[in-house]
Every structure is written in C-alpha cells, then in structure tokens.
Amino acid sequence: MSKHTLIGGGTGFIGSHLSKHLAKNGYEVTVISRMPGPKRITWHELEKQGIPSSVNSVVNATGQNVLDPSRRWTPGFQQNVWNSRVNSSKTLSQAIQAAPQVKSFVNLCGVSLYPPSETKTYTEDDQGVNYDYMSSLCLAWEEAARSGDSKDKCSIVRTGAVVGRNGGMIKSIWLPFKLGLGGPMGAGNQIMPWIHMHDLCGLIQHLIENCESGVFNGVAPEIVSNKGFSQAFASALNRPCLFAVPEFVVQAIFGKERSALLLSGAKIQPKRTLASGYQFKYPDVKSAVAEVVGK
C-alpha cells in the first residue's frame, strides 16, 4: 500500500522537517497551507472537498508560534494562538470521519497541562490540569483532536521544546550563546521538557506505521533543568554559560502568561512512547545538542 501523509502546518518549523523526513522514508506528502501550490491543498479546499482519497495518514503540526518576541501578548494574538491549534485540530478530526481510508491521525499538542511539581514525575497516565492559559489551551486542543468519531485512529503527542536547527528555541538562543553571552532563563532550576527534532519526526512515523492511538509524551527520557540544558548547549559550542536572563526581563518581553513556558516546567517521562517500541536516537541532552551544533 502506498504511504501518503497529509500534514497540517507542513510549512512551519516542525512540519517542514517532518515533510522531509517522511519523503526520505518513501512517503508521498501533501501539505495543508493557506496558499495553493504543488503538493498542497488549502484549508478552504479541505473543508469543501475533504481529504484526498489517496491519503492514508494525517498529521497536525499547525500552530501560531507562541514565543514570537516580535508579537505582543494582546487579546488578538492570544486568539490567533488558540484558534490556529484548536480549530485546525477540530477541522481535521471531522474531515477524517468522512475519510475511511485514513488509518492514522497524529495531533501534536503541548505539555503545559502537567503542573510543575517538586516531587511528581508525570507519565501519559496523568490527565492534566487546567490551571492557567497554556494548560487550558492544551486541554481544549486535545479535546478538539478527539472531537470526531475517529478517536480509535487518533494519537496525541504531548510535545516538549523541540530541539533542532533553523527554528524554535535553538534559533532564538543561538546568537547570544555563540557570542558567549548565553545562560539560563530566570533562576534556571525550572525543568525543561524537550525532544530532538529527529526523534519527534521518528516518533510520528512510528505512530503512523503502527496505527497507535491514545496519548504519547513527545519528550526525551532525560529530565533536565533549564540551567542544565543551557550549560550543555554552551559547552557544545565551546562557550561559557554565565549570563542568566532575569525573570523580570523574560516577563517584560513575553508577558506573564507566555513566560510560564520558559520559567516553569514539569518532570515528564515518555512511558507509553517507550512501551510502544519507539527507540530514541537522542535520549540525552549532550548527544542532542552535539548534533544541533554539528559535532
């Protein structure tokens, strides 16, 4: 059977890496985009015409970049962040109901529904708690992905900070660290759930090919603090890690609600991910950052 995946958000940081990864592994890839083009359909076409008949797996990696420092945390921007995730998940979930040839639907979500705790380490068995804007977004996002009758096809990947070149967190911290001016955010003791881009793409392929359903934590097995990650990244670049960014500066740039993504985090283990048979290529921070800096 041919392997044809439809990717929502296929032109973004995660989606573009995933498109290349799947194409390299023998998949045909079609991207849902705002703009028409080759190997693309628009969201409008999806709603009118449904999922193309040759597509047998769907991945949703759609979402406005929350940590875009050029965008102020206004009610309008918050609505964009919310709608881009929740509405796309609902649209795809409902489109899959009318596409029986689709055997697998992977929806990327977040880990902010796990409240930070000094003592608890979370697994996929934990439901998540609504305690702030980001956690309520994560819960609504997951509910939207399961809104159709395709729950048995749907796998939710709760994704930590994605570590990879040319985008995401690494792109934003690369220059200060390269100049020897990098350091942790705030006190740096906060936990930073993370995953290497290669492993996120590999996990998605694994879930598609095994038609897995349910929740999977898209985080690496090694639990690390923001300070620990910063030190490993600086070390990989042969630079010092001296200059912490004070908490009030982070909050001034991003606003209090968004800053929670940088200044707090929960200890999370990928228990079901590992039990499903997925093997991480970059299970620890040292190997992950070495790959990112090209060592």
pLDDT at site 148:
76
pLDDT at site 7:
98
pTM score, two decimals?
0.96
The DSSP secondary-structure symbol of 32 reads: E
In this structure, are strands 28-33 and 4-8 parallel, antiparallel, or unpaired?
Answer: parallel
Query: Taking the chain (295 residues) in consecutive chunks of 10 residues, what is each chunk's mean pLDDT?
Result: 92 96 98 90 95 97 91 94 96 94 97 96 96 96 88 93 93 95 97 98 98 96 98 98 95 92 97 98 98 92
Say which residues have a Cβ less than 8 Å from residue 283's Cβ, sequence separation at least 6: 220, 221, 222
pLDDT at site 34:
85
Three-class DSSP labels, 133-160: HHHHHHHHHHHHHCCCCCHHHEEEEEEC
pLDDT at site 166:
87
pLDDT at site 1:
65
